[in-house]
Amino acid sequence: MDKDTFVVIMAGGVGSRFWPASRNSQPKQFLDILGVGKSLIQMTYERSLNIVPASNIFVITNANYVDQVAEHLPELPAENIISEPARKNTGPCVAYISFHIQAICSNAMILLLPSDHMISNEMVFVRSLAKAIQFIDAEGGIMTLGMQAHHANTGYGYIQTGPQIEGKNIYKVATFKEKPDAQTAQEYIDSGDFVWNAGIFLFKAGDILHQFSVFAPEIYQTLYGENIYGSPEEEAFINERYPQVTSISIDYAIMEKSSNIYCMPMDIGWSDLGTWKSLFELQAKDEDEIVTNVKPENYYIEGATGLLLQLPKGKKAVISGVDNLLIVDTNDVLMIWPKDREQEIKQVKDEVASNWNLE
């Protein structure tokens, strides 16, 4: 890729739907959710090295997680870990990192990646991305990478594609849609015009900052500082200004308002790993539809199907007569929950975690 291309990994989220494993103190991006010996942020970083060198990879994260990022990514230069002093969603996050990188490279192209997603076909991703970079470099605007929708998933946002750019697998974006109910999701799939919104965006730093100045001027004006970024005064400036900005997603702040957005659909084995159920659907299963991180000699299961079983190292389990459950044991919390009600876990976490001091 070009020396002006940068990858930004957003790693400030909490992953509350993966509670009780994911906590404020150790969110899911720092967990080995897939049981492969690597955390999700490590996998995202290694994927990014297929696109740019380590010097062009930045991680933006909450101030509380800077040390964890450094621990998981010891090869990443310390100055490439950017700290947010407050949680303000993805809108201010994107504006801040764009100001920062533009000060380093005035013609910077930024690929924005979530830290906790799964991509199984990484080479197709990299090849498609090269074409997307070439297009945005020539045409400007914002590119969103849309994931081929294989089923009517109610846990994802959707992108409706508009007119196709002649000769290219690129479309103008017609609309962004929030997470739908089951019937609406099926209508999206049946239409053939919708892809899943993966939250992966590509843009020039100058272009996205112009969009902020037009559609989110409060964020732009609050974070704008002449000759501040890249200087010794940046940290103090951000510590003062960043907590003042409105908390808003990049989708609401920019994407749903701008008319200069493109979509490149792709099928790369993507999952946002947003919930325990999505992990269950992604992982290999035995003949009883059991997904577990436990070695076979450490569990005994009979008369049970459709289970996701996650246990701490050294723990053993005996299970019989239950179906379609999430069973997650983190030593201090045991959660047994119906798989088809997994969207309620975040609400339950909000109700009990503070009372139990399990934030």
Segment 105-152, tens digit of pLDDT: 999 999 999 999 999 899 999 999 999 999 999 999 999 999 999 888
Q: Is the pLDDT of residue 343 over 90?
A: no
For residues 250 and 90, the answer to whether their CB atoms sit within 8 Å is yes
Distance CA 12, CA 23 (A): 12
Q: Over the stretch 10-54, which tens digit does the pLDDT of each residue have? A: 999 888 888 999 888 889 999 988 888 899 999 999 999 999 999
Q: How far is CA 41 from the centre of its chain?
A: 10
For residues 249 and 221, the answer to whether their CB atoms sit within 8 Å is no
Distance CA 258, CA 239 (A): 29
Beta carbons within 8 Å of 217's beta carbon, 6+ residues apart: none
User: Domain span at residue 330?
Assistant: 277-352
**219 three-class SS:** helix
Sign for the pseudo-dihedral over CA of 17, 285, 330, 59 = negative
User: Are residues 307 and 172 part of one domain?
Assistant: no
Instruction: Report the pLDDT value the prediction gives residue 175, as an integer from 0 to 100.
Output: 93
Q: How confident is the model at residue 240 (pLDDT cuts 50, 70, 90)?
A: very high
Instruction: Report the pLDDT value the prediction gives residue 42, as an integer from 0 to 100.
Output: 97
Of 269, 288, 316, which residue sits at a domain end?
269
* pTM passes above 0.85: yes
Q: For residue 187, which amino acid is it?
A: E
Kindly state the average pLDDT of the residues 85-112: 97
Q: How confident is the model at residue 350 (pLDDT cuts 50, 70, 90)?
A: confident
Instruction: Report the pLDDT value the prediction gives residue 147, as an integer from 0 to 100.
Output: 94
| CA angle centred on 335, ends 329 and 341, rounded to 5° | 135
Beta carbons within 8 Å of 302's beta carbon, 6+ residues apart: 319, 320
359 lies in some domain: no
Beta carbons within 8 Å of 208's beta carbon, 6+ residues apart: 94, 95, 98, 110, 142, 254
User: Are residues 295 and 260 part of one domain?
Assistant: no
Conformational region of residue 192, where left means phi above 0, alpha means psi within -120 to 50, and beta covers everything else = left
Instruction: Report the pLDDT value the prediction gives residue 155, as an integer from 0 to 100.
Output: 83
State the total domains in the chain: 2
Question: Is the preceding omega at residue 217 within 30 degrees of 0, hence cis?
Answer: no
Instruction: Report the pLDDT value the prediction gives residue 165, as an integer from 0 to 100.
Output: 95
User: Are residues 285 and 203 part of one domain?
Assistant: no
Distance CA 115, CA 272 (A): 10
Instruction: Report the pLDDT value the prediction gives residue 33, as an integer from 0 to 100.
Output: 85
Q: Is the pLDDT of residue 302 over 90?
A: yes
357 lies in some domain: no
CATH of the domain at 244: 3.90.550.10
Listed range (74-88, 274-288, 313-327) with the worst mean pLDDT: 274-288
Kindly state the average pLDDT of the residues 225-253: 95
Please compute Rg for the chain using Cα positions. Answer: 21
Q: Is the pLDDT of residue 273 over 90?
A: no
User: Are residues 301 and 175 part of one domain?
Assistant: no
Beta carbons within 8 Å of 226's beta carbon, 6+ residues apart: none
The neighbouring-strand residues paired with 59 are 9, 81
Q: How confident is the model at residue 69 (pLDDT cuts 50, 70, 90)?
A: very high
With a pLDDT cut of 70, the percent of the chain lying above it is 99
Instruction: Report the pLDDT value the prediction gives residue 1, as an integer from 0 to 100.
Output: 59
User: Are residues 258 and 330 part of one domain?
Assistant: no
| CA angle centred on 352, ends 346 and 357, rounded to 5° | 115
User: Are residues 31 and 165 part of one domain?
Assistant: yes
User: Are residues 324 and 218 part of one domain?
Assistant: no
Kindly state the average pLDDT of the residues 56-71: 96
Q: How far is CA 13 from the centre of its chain?
A: 8
* Other residues' Cβ atoms within 10 Å of the Cβ of residue 282: 15
